[in-house]
Amino acid sequence: MSQAELLATIKAIAVPGKGILAADESDKTIAKRFKSINLESTEESRRAYREMLFTTPEFGQYVSGVILYEETLYQKHKDGTPFPELLAKQGAIPGIKVDKGLVDLPNCPGEQITQGLDGLTDRLKKYKEQGARFAKWREVYHIGDVIPSSLAIKANAEMLAFYAAACQEQGIVPIVEPEVLIDGSHTLARCFAVTEAVLHAVFKALYKHKILLEGMILKPSMVISGNQCAKQADVQEVAEQTLTVLRRYVPAAVPTINFLSGGQSSEVATAHLNAMNKDKNNPWNLSFSYGRALQDHALKAWGGKPENVAVAQHALHKRLKLNGLASVGKYDSSME
């Protein structure tokens, strides 16, 4: 492990006012997104879409890192510039999604675990040669009456720790992403309890696997009401409960927490991030690692048409700027 290499990458990413763009949608996910604008998902349409995102003016003013899908890591701008090189010129560090998706967890009905540890070290070496300096691995936790089970919580934590250790061994910063899903009718209190158990298990596993906390990024979900819950918590409640659970279970040595949006609307995700940054007593940098919450408006404005690139980039720029302001507590809904 090269601590200096890990810390240099973290220093470049954990910059106040900047965050991470998650552009690592799988082929299945981006096909679904493209279907919403009546566009066929092909290698070229995916390349053109990512090019539109990455060439947005002032992109690097608000984005310090971009998570790429494997295909995108090897794609190029139409002028021949590899995307990792293009992002570096924009001032953003290239990263890579390395997990291989979800499978059912045996003996745990309704629960899942992420696959992809086989061959991970060799893949990390190749990704690093291509320019990737950080990676991402996601585990998910469904909330039900009796789930997540203790077995699922522990198994998923171990997977995250194995992955993080493999990354740091190669000098690649791991994004550790334990996502407590928003799907369901659970209350804010139930989400809080599950998040407590999940974060406790994750950091226990990270400690056991000797992860350098100063050389990692945490990408958690916020403590939020289920999307089918009759009583939705307001922005301030979400901010307060999220900060409470983070302060209990996330060591101050972790330099930056970059939240996932997890099904929230673009505007709500920004408001929640801003509310948390109004509190100046946080030991970590608190920022974003949003996918759809950053891209949604831009995708609709683009519509797969070259003549719409400028207006789509304007839409993306606006969301990046607003989230950049939210990451330092200076956003206001009137800016929408």
Residue 325 pLDDT: 98
**pTM of the entire structure?**
0.98
Helices and strands: H and E segment counts in the chain = 13, 10
The catalytic residue among 177, 204, 214, 305 is: 177
Candidates 187, 203, 183, 173; CA nearest to 67 is 173
For the segment 78-131, what is each residue's pLDDT rounded down to a tens digit? 999 999 999 999 999 999 999 999 999 999 999 999 999 999 999 999 999 999
Task: CATH number of the domain at 154, please.
Answer: 3.20.20.70
Regions of the chain short of the pLDDT cut 70: 1
Is residue 1 within 8 Å of 168, Cβ to Cβ? Answer: yes
The catalytic residue among 219, 237, 280, 307 is: 219
Query: What are the Cα distances from residue 278, in Å, to 163, 175, 243?
Result: 33, 24, 11
**H helical segments located in the chain:** 3-13, 27-35, 43-54, 59-62, 70-73, 83-90, 120-129, 150-169, 188-208, 235-249, 266-278, 292-302, 309-326
| Rg, C-alpha atoms of the chain | 19
Residue 72 pLDDT: 98
Residue 2 pLDDT: 81
For CA atoms 144, 145, 151, 154, give the dihedral sign. Answer: positive
Element (H, E) at 99: none
> What single letter denotes the amino acid at residue 319?
R
Residue 294 pLDDT: 98
Residue 312 pLDDT: 98
Query: Which conformational region is residue 242 in: left (phi greater than 0), alpha (psi within -120 to 50 degrees), or beta?
Result: alpha
Question: Cα 296–225–295 angle (5° rounding)?
Answer: 10
Residue with tokens 């690649």: 172
Residue 280 pLDDT: 87
Domain that holds residue 281: 3-335
85 tagged catalytic: no
Q: First vs last Cα of the chain: how many Å apart?
A: 44
DSSP code of residue 21:
E
If one counts the domains in the chain, the total is 1
Residue 99 pLDDT: 98
177 tagged catalytic: yes
Question: Cα 251–172–258 angle (5° rounding)?
Answer: 45
